[in-house]
Amino acid sequence: MSTLTVCGSEFEMDGRPFDMWGIRVANALENDRTAHDLLLQLESYLEFGVNTLSIFLQGGSTGQANPFDADGSFTRNTRRGECSDLFKQCGDAEGIAHRNSHLDRLHVIIEQADKLGMAVGIGVFYQARIRQFAGEDAIRAATRSVANWIQAKGYRNVFTDLVNEYGHGGFSGIGLCYGETERFALDGGEELLGLFKSICPTIPSGISANGPVPAEFPSGDLVYIHHLHNPADIRKTLKRDQPIVLNEWSHGKIGRGISAEAGMYSREDVATWRHVVDTVRGGGGCVFFHSNWKQHLNEHGGPHFEIGPPGEQPQDEYGGVPSDHWYFEMVRQLRG
């Protein structure tokens, strides 16, 4: 298996520079259909230059995924026989026995990504489902469960975001994900990083803090940002040379008066995303395309992991088509 590492401000894969271009697919583990759909798209993503996925064990907004039991273990059992045809083609059909369906899905995705030379970011805790744990000891146990699973599987093409939006109000009262002493205090996150790194010391790991100010967790290997910043400025402020990853950015409703979940992108949206990419990439950082069209489960049949059809975007004020082909084409052009 290929090995992803951090070297200064950059990622490397097997000792060679790895120019990370990512896509956020937080709800890929929701069910067999979502995982199946994502697997079908990996080669297409790679053709455009998108070589990294961001997937969350507890899913994202509108999702319900959660592989953990209340005590933080991975003993949750699910119905056998749910395996899709593509799972049987991509993985060992006997090994994918759905002892834990969410982990089985992630296993096949990680293995297939590795075959293609891709990396996978594993998000662990999400505020909407954190209270399904029995308490903070269960959260500690869950951190160890994830680390032991990664270690046992021998994954090396992965990195982690242990807490998505650390300090978010949804974590209030849970010091490990909110701050032991006050909101945004780093001590709780530092404890989780210490637990994870004690088992997986070579897996690049970090925590993405909520809010406009980037937070540097001293034990982390990379810095996640949720708002638009120039990575070069962040490194100067933090006085530390690490990869800077914009793993979640959205400027609200997509288009003017059109639902983000419907995947309607205006010309303004395209220009704004180009500004985001130019700013982050110009400062030596990495960008993950974050789109509700790619993430949300809703009446529009999402998430839509397929690349939307090519074509000109309409010019009228309320126009739009369910297409994100423009973003992938932008990546291909920038990568040359």
Q: Write out pLDDT tens, residues 127-144.
A: 999 999 999 999 999 999
pLDDT score recorded for residue 311? 65
pLDDT at residue number 256: 41
% the chain with pLDDT above 90: 65
> Tell me, what's the pLDDT at 183?
74
Q: Hey, what long-range contacts does 237-244 have (CB within 8 A, 24 or more apart)?
A: 238/214, 240/216, 241/8, 241/9, 242/6, 242/8, 242/9, 242/216, 243/6, 243/9, 243/10, 243/11, 243/20, 243/204, 243/285, 243/286, 244/9, 244/214, 244/280, 244/283, 244/284, 244/285, 244/286
pLDDT at residue 83, rounded to an integer? 55
Q: Residue 34: what pLDDT?
A: 93
Q: Is the pLDDT of residue 328 over 90?
A: yes
Amino acid 254: pLDDT: 44
Q: Output the six-digit token pair for 236.
A: 């100067």
For the chain, give the mean pLDDT: 87
Residue 259 has pLDDT above 70, yes or no: no
Task: Identify which of 24-33, 134-143, 176-185, 239-248 has the greatest average pLDDT.
Answer: 134-143
Segment holding 209, helix H or strand E:
strand 205-209
Q: Quickly state the pLDDT bin for 293 (edges 50, 70, 90).
A: confident
Q: 46-73, pLDDT tens digit by residue?
A: 999 999 999 999 999 899 999 999 999 9
Q: What is the pLDDT at residue 211?
A: 78
Question: Per-residue pLDDT for 314 more than 60?
Answer: no
* Domain boundaries 4-335, corresponding CATH code: 3.20.20.80
Residue 142 phi, psi dihedral angles, 5° rounding: -65, -40
Give the pLDDT score at 261.
Answer: 58
Which residues in 19-141 belong to E strands, given as ranges? 22-24, 52-56, 119-125
Domains of the chain, by residue range, sit at: 4-335
* pLDDT over 70 (residue 185): yes
- Is the pLDDT at 196 greater than 50? The verdict is yes
Is the separation of the CB atoms in 324 and 291 below 8 Å? yes
Q: What is the pLDDT of residue 321?
A: 60
* Model pTM score: 0.92
Residue 288 and residue 327 in contact, taking contact as beta carbons nearer than 8 Å: no
Quick: pLDDT tens for 73-123: 997 655 444 555 555 555 554 445 556 889 989 999 999 999 999 999 999
